[in-house]
Amino acid sequence: MPISRTRADIECWLTDMDGVLVHEDRPLPGAKELLQQWKDAGTEFLVLTNNSIFTPRDLAARLRASGLHVPEERIWTSALATADFLHDQAPGGSAYVIGEAGIITALHEIGFTMTDTDPDFVVIGETRSYSFEAITKAIRLIAAGARFISTNPDATGPSADGILPATGAINALITKATGRVPYIVGKPNPMMFRSALNKIGAHSEVTGMIGDRMDTDIIAGMEAGLHTVLVMTGISDPAVVETYPFRPDEMLESVQDLVDPKPIASELDEPHADV
């Protein structure tokens, strides 16, 4: 029988970062209060992001500058999920990596060797400095038999001047040249959520996922068996939701709606002056 859950059944939370907790380095309504509520209650939680450029320490510092205090051990990135997956696939393996500190550090920490000579994997992550030479090397290594892995499928990313080509665009270029499709570990692959659940020792039946995107957060949360909450502070709005054949368990204006209201003192609780 299908599992019937309400928010009251949820004991642990996963939450997206951009569009849910912050927007352009500004905290969104309720984010600070919700994080504090979880900490005060001892609720297990992780902040998730598909961004593989930065390490959890970098992201914790970014959130702190926005006024949100999230310990680095409470941050789970597509880079960490990718490293977790590759460690299971080939402990102590090797990889040729296109990416930055987030993915390179994650792979070093699981004991992988970075090499451009006969690697087990070619790993494509986010970077702001893609080079033709590096992409050419990746194509040749994949054609020679290296397994093609990517941290996330996002085709574009934001900048002050407009959109930028992102990981998914480079994935497509390499696929066109090699005929090989990457295995993508980040959202919407529910594997990223399952590895996050393992990190905090949570069970899908009592875990909720908060996101702002139907095509990544909500579908991956649904496929991982989580209680899904869509907020309207990021990409999606009610009109966008209508275009999908599935629905989140809840639709809220912001995470402020997940913050427990403060109790209002009644007249009986108020102190009375002695007569």
Please identify every residue annotated as catalytic.
16, 18
Distance (Å, rounded) from C-alpha 21 to C-alpha 59? Answer: 12
Q: Which residues pair with 165 in a beta bridge?
A: 156
Asked if 151 and 107 touch (Cβ cutoff 8 Å), the reply is no
Beta-sheet pairing, 26-27 with 22-23: antiparallel
Distance (Å, rounded) from C-alpha 159 to C-alpha 126? Answer: 14
Amino acid found at 182: P
Distance between first and last Cα of the chain: 63
Distance (Å, rounded) from C-alpha 161 to C-alpha 36? Answer: 35
CB neighbour list of residue 263: distance below 8 Å, 6 or more residues apart: none
Distance (Å, rounded) from C-alpha 187 to C-alpha 4? Answer: 25
Cis previous bond, 261, omega within 30: no
